Amino acid sequence: MRIDIMTLFPDAIHAMMDQSIIGRAQERGYITIATHQIRDYTTNKQMQVDDYPYGGGRGAVMQADPLYRCWQHICDEAGQRVHTIYMSPCGRTFDQQVAREIKEKYDHLILVCGHYEGVDERFLEECVDEELSLGDFVLTGGEIPAMAVADAVCRMVPGVLSDTECYTGESHWDGLLEYPQYTRPDVWEGRAVPEVLINGDHAKVELWRRKKQLERTMNKRPDMFEKFTPADDTDRKLLEEIKKDASRIKLTEKLDYRPATLDDMPDIMHIVEDARRSLKRFHVDQWQGEYPNEQVFLADMARGECFAVTHGGEVAAVFVLSTLEQENYAKITDGKWTADMPYCVLHRSAVSAKYRGSGMSEFMMKCVERQAAEGFGLRCIRVDTHRKNKAMQRLLRESGYRYRGNVLIDDAGHDPARQAYEKILKIKNIAGGCK
Domain ranges of the chain: 2-168, 187-245, 255-424
> Average pLDDT for residues 258-282, to the nearest whole number?
94
Report the alpha-carbon distance of residue 413 to residue 394 in Å, rounded.
26
CATH topology of domain 187-245: Trp Operon Repressor; Chain A (1.10.1270)
Most confident stretch, 49-58, 223-232, 296-305: 296-305
Q: State the pTM of this model.
A: 0.57
Report residue 158's pLDDT band, with 50, 70 and 90 as the boundaries.
very high
| Higher per-residue pLDDT: 131 or 359 | 131
Neighbours of 294 (CB within 10 A): 13
Report residue 274's pLDDT band, with 50, 70 and 90 as the boundaries.
very high
pLDDT of residue 245: 77
Identify residue 372 by its one-letter amino acid code.
A
What beta strand segments (E) does 135-280 contain?
187-188, 191-192, 255-259
pLDDT digits (tens, 9 = 90+) for 329-362: 999 999 999 878 999 999 999 999 889 888 899 9
Phi-psi region of 129 (alpha: psi -120 to 50; beta: other; left: phi over 0): alpha
CATH topology of domain 255-424: Aminopeptidase (3.40.630)
Report residue 165's pLDDT band, with 50, 70 and 90 as the boundaries.
low
pLDDT digits (tens, 9 = 90+) for 173-198: 678 998 999 998 887 776 778 888 98
Identify residue 213 by its one-letter amino acid code.
Q
Report the alpha-carbon distance of residue 134 to residue 403 in Å, rounded.
56
Our measurement of the distance from residue 398's CA atom to the centroid of its chain's CA atoms, rounded to an integer in Å, reads 20
Phi and psi, residue 18, nearest 5°: -95, 10
Per-residue pLDDT for 307 more than 70? yes
Q: What percent of the chain has pLDDT over 70?
A: 95
Phi and psi, residue 271, nearest 5°: -65, -40
List CB contacts of 198: < 8 A, sequence separation 6 or more: 186, 400
Q: What percent of the chain has pLDDT over 90?
A: 73
* 3 state DSSP class of 200: coil
As a whole number, the mean pLDDT across the chain is 91
| Higher per-residue pLDDT: 358 or 151 | 151
List CB contacts of 176: < 8 A, sequence separation 6 or more: 213, 214, 216, 217, 224, 228
Domain 2-168 belongs in CATH node 3.40.1280.10? yes
Per-residue pLDDT for 10 more than 90? yes
Report residue 393's pLDDT band, with 50, 70 and 90 as the boundaries.
very high
Phi and psi, residue 300, nearest 5°: -60, -45
Per-residue pLDDT for 429 more than 50? no
